[in-house]
């Protein structure tokens, strides 16, 4: 197993976007602007969030934003990395040659594809737009100058299987989330405790994953507000108003936060120097599926919207 002393420090950045759901052109321009800010400040590795090009919610029109690896979002990653001589990655809904759609993370270095990873399983209403990845996909993207680079996105940080598949195999993780809040339009007496817990749960999941695998994490995110219907819920609970939780951060191999941007701070970047390297962790990966508690509403939505979403996906998306 390598140690951090074998690698030089790297200046890295994670991007937090104020995304307009479904507006690919606007979102790519925002990612370009923020990534360029990171380049100008010295970053050589840059993480974009999950669904960096579109965001996601229960909006059937999002089917029209699904791309392939030959589309504009992959081209943006490739061309930006080549033009500026950096490593950059992010995920988007991608129609794959094998059939169906995946939530695919692509990482490019200086115009060359370093690797790809398909998120292991969709979360809640995401089931309407894509399917889970190949179980043999361990999230390892590839090597760069001897540094083993891996990825994880959003609720992959909440599942212990992510730490199991990455531990001892990567020296750094570059990833991101699209982690939404509980409904802000539902009564406070029902939701207040869950809202504060949810935001804290996001950053703690990423911190704990870093400590369990023993490698730094570059975590990008979103901070926008959005509204949509909630499939299968009765009136007046069938309307969602909420916000993406932010918590864009650079975290070291022990789980310590080196830089963080909360949702209240809006869009922007965080930067830090990290020393890649897989370090021996004395932390034991819990013998359970979920790393941390999701609370009752999220647990219910996980199962209920998975059932509804999969049916919709089979009928309207997979083809």
Work out the widest C-alpha separation in the chain, in whole angstroms.
Answer: 58
Note the pLDDT of residue 8.
87
Concatenate the DSSP letters of all residues of 264-279 into one string.
GG-SEEEEEEE-----
Question: Residue 231 burial by CB count (10 A; 0-12/13-18/19+): exposed, middle or buried?
Answer: middle
Supply 18's token pair: 């104020």
Note the pLDDT of residue 193.
82
SS3 state at 101: strand
In the chain the domains, ranked by start, together with CATH numbers, are: 4-316 (3.60.110.10)
Alpha helices in the chain (DSSP H): 24-40, 72-84, 160-166, 188-213, 296-316
Note the pLDDT of residue 6.
66
Angle (deg, nearest 10), helices 24-40 and 72-84: 20
Q: What is the mean pLDDT of each run of 10 residues along the chain (319 residues)?
A: 64 98 98 98 98 98 98 98 98 96 98 98 98 97 96 98 97 98 90 88 98 97 97 92 98 97 98 92 92 94 96 94
């Amino acid at each position: 197993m390598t140690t951090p002393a074998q690698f030089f420090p790297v200046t890295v950045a994670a991007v937090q976007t104020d995304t307009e759901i479904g507006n690919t052109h606007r979102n790519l321009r925002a990612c370009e602007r923020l990534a360029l800010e990171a380049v100008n400040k010295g970053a050589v590795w840059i993480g974009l969030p999950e669904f960096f090009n579109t965001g996601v919610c229960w909006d059937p029109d999002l089917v029209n934003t699904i791309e392939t690896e030959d589309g504009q979002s992959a081209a943006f990653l490739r061309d930006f990395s080549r033009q500026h001589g950096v490593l950059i990655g992010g995920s988007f809904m991608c129609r794959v040659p094998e059939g169906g759609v995946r939530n695919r993370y692509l990482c490019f270095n200086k115009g060359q594809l370093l690797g790809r990873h398909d998120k292991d399983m969709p979360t809640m209403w995401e089931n309407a737009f894509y399917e889970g990845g190949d179980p043999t996909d361990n999230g390892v993207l590839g090597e760069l100058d001897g540094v083993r680079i891996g990825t994880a996105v959003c609720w992959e940080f909440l599942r212990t299987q992510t730490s199991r598949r990455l531990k001892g195999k990567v020296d750094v993780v570059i990833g991101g989330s699209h982690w939404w809040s509980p409904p802000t339009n539902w009564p406070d007496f029902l939701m207040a405790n869950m809202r504060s817990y949810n935001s804290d749960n996001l950053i703690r999941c990423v911190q704990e994953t870093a400590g369990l695998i023993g490698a730094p994490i570059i975590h990008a995110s979103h901070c926008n507000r959005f509204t949509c219907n909630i499939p299968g819920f009765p009136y007046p609970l069938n309307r969602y108003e909420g916000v993406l939780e932010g918590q864009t951060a650079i975290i070291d191999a022990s789980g310590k936060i080196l830089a963080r941007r909360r949702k209240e701070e809006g869009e922007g970047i965080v930067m830090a120097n990290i020393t890649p390297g897989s370090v021996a962790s004395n932390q034991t990966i819990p013998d359970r599926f979920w790393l941390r508690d999701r609370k009752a509403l999220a647990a219910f939505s996980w199962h209920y919207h998975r059932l509804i979403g999969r049916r919709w996906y089979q009928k309207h998306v997979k083809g």
